[in-house]
Structure 1
Amino acid sequence: MKVIPALSLACLVAGPGWARSQEPPPSPAEPAPPSAQAPAPTPVKIHPGVIELGRDVFLPHLYQDTKASFTSRESLIGLALGGFATAAISFQDQKIDDYWEAEDPIGDWSEIGDQWGSGFFQPAVVVGMYGWSRWTKNQELATNAEVLAEALILQGLTINLMKPLVGRERPDHSDKLSFPSGHTGNAFAFAAVVDDRYGHKWGIPLFALATFTGLTRMEDRAHWASDVAFGATLGTVIGYAVSKNHDDYPYQKAWRRKKKTKITLLPLLPSPGDDRTGIMISMPVR
């Protein structure tokens, strides 16, 4: 009887095709769900309102600026060196003043330094920079304008607090607010920030102008040489300290806020064959 083997062979040959014929036709492929689009980046708010600017920007920054200017190692070294130089120059104050009174080497050119350090032109430049940054949406320019403003404000507060405390009489006897020189401090603070932010090609000419400003204050007999020396010291130290310790984007509310280390405690449960328990400590490694 060869019928059964033949039937079996026929089933084996025809089986796969027969089985495929019994399967339901595949359903049409469903379209893949659209990929989730990344959310649009939040625009950087570089121009806060007046209240937010004072509360979240200037006040926190000025606090940190003060710490950087008077407690950092670099600032303390600069203040110490400037203080020693000021003390040494003070022994020659009268001779230097006699020279300026007798020779009058700068003449009418002294008006340039008097105006540049007066506290009008530098703030005008800062306001212009900030206004242009609003117009052009330039974050870097807004940053640099705000750094300049903070440096000028801090050095102005420092010098004007020192003047009545020291009570030194001016060479022309006009008042007792001679030490230190505010005009010189303004000019050197401005030069230091610009030098740090824009490089020596701008910084060196501004330091030269700041030096000329200090000389004109002696020419006008508004300050002794040591007044000018310490005004230059304060302006330079504060200008560099504020700029170097400042955020790239100061309009963020946090000013160099340190990230807190997150420590996680997890229970360690017993595994099969091991009845020990405990606590696992998890913390990120930087």
Structure 2
Amino acid sequence: MLLLAISPARPAAGGVTDLPGDLWDDVRHLPTRENAWWLAGGAATALLVSTFEDPEAVARTLNQPVIDELADFGNVWGDARVQAPLALATWGLGAWAGSEEAAGLGYDLTRSLALTYGAVSALKVTFNRERPNGEDYSFPSGHTASAFSTAGVVSRRYGGWAGGVAIGLGVLTGLGRMEDLKHYGSDVVAGATIGWIIGRNAGRPRGDADGLGLQLVPLGRGLAVAGRF
């Protein structure tokens, strides 16, 4: 008996010199039907939320025991000074320790955050929306985008409880930004959508440079042809 089994592959993490090319590859893979649906859903939700926004009321609601502390943690989690070093450290330490899994995760996170920060920065300058506290560059929420960028990568790579925890941290980040009157609800929804799409895209299985890499493996009373793509 001969069976053909093909499963998605995750190539070893790239090096610094591979980063520009892989970033461009990520950009090329963004236009998909799935991403179009995510974008349409996020845009529609942000537009709907914008019609009844009351940032002061939201902040008062969130400024409660326990909720306030969780929101404050989310505020810290989404900060670029946490997200970027965490991604780079995972990539670098994983490579140093010879862990392809850790290095690959860190590489995906690094690429995802780089594209997320670029997209968010461009949109902030374009819209220049005033924040609820009177400051500039409200739309979209960069903290929320970065937290959901990480959540997108983790969810795509691992799913399950790991993805759920990462998404939960993203939600806390969004709540923290609204509790601090840094963003409107629509800013948070837009940031979450952008980060999620870019993160899921960066965490996708990518093809091997060596092709399918077919090999025979024992399976019961026969052999299976296992390949990676």
- Cα distance, 1:192 vs structure 2: 1.1
More strand by share: 2
Q: Give the structure 2 partner of residue 186 of structure 1.
A: 146
Tell me, which stretches of 5 or more residues in structure 1 are unaligned?
Answer: 1-43, 257-286
Q: Give the structure 2 partner of residue 271 of structure 1.
A: none
SS in 1 for 2:139: coil
Residues 88 and 45 (structure 1), Cα distance of their counterparts in 2 relative to 1, 3 Å cut: closer
Residues 47 and 159 (structure 1), Cα distance of their counterparts in 2 relative to 1, 3 Å cut: closer
1:84 aligns with 2:33: no
CA contact (8 A) 2:116 2:198 kept: yes
Question: 2:35 and 2:70 mapped to 1: Cα distance?
Answer: 33
Residues 248-273 of structure 1 show CA distances to partners (whole Å, capped at 9, x for unaligned) of 6xxx6x9x9xxxxxxxxxxxxxxxxx
- Cα distance, 1:131 vs structure 2: 2.8
Q: Give the structure 1 partner of residue 103 of structure 2.
A: 142
CA contact (8 A) 1:159 1:180 kept: yes
Matching residue within 67, 90, 94 for 1:133: 94
Q: How many residues align?
A: 198
Identity, in percent, stands at 31
Q: Give the structure 2 partner of residue 272 of structure 1.
A: none
Q: Give the structure 2 partner of residue 215 of structure 1.
A: 175
User: What CA RMSD, in Å, does the superposition of the two structures yield over aligned residues?
Assistant: 2.2
Residues 117 and 58 (structure 1), Cα distance of their counterparts in 2 relative to 1, 3 Å cut: same
1:121 aligns with 2:82: yes
TM-score (norm 2): 0.79
SS in 2 for 1:150: helix
Letter in 1 for 2:106: A
Question: 2:47 and 2:13 mapped to 1: Cα distance?
Answer: 44
Residues 111 and 138 (structure 1), Cα distance of their counterparts in 2 relative to 1, 3 Å cut: same
CA contact (8 A) 1:68 1:245 kept: no
Question: 1:197 and 1:147 mapped to 2: Cα distance?
Answer: 9
SS in 2 for 1:170: coil
**Map of 1:1-286 to 2, 5 A cutoff?**
48=15, 53-54=16-17, 57-69=18-30, 71-94=31-54, 97-103=55-61, 104-105=63-64, 106-175=67-136, 177-244=137-204, 246-247=206-207
Question: 1:65 and 1:113 mapped to 2: Cα distance?
Answer: 27
Residues 9-44 of structure 1 show CA distances to partners (whole Å, capped at 9, x for unaligned) of xxxxxxxxxxxxxxxxxxxxxxxxxxxxxxxxxxx9
Higher relative contact order (CA 8 A, sep 6+): 2
Q: Compare 222-231 and 117-126 and name the one that shifted more.
A: 117-126
Letter in 2 for 1:111: D
CA contact (8 A) 2:95 2:102 kept: no
TM-score (norm 1): 0.64
CA contact (8 A) 2:91 2:106 kept: yes
CA contact (8 A) 1:68 1:75 kept: no
- Cα distance, 1:221 vs structure 2: 0.4
CA contact (8 A) 1:169 1:178 kept: yes
Letter in 1 for 2:57: Y
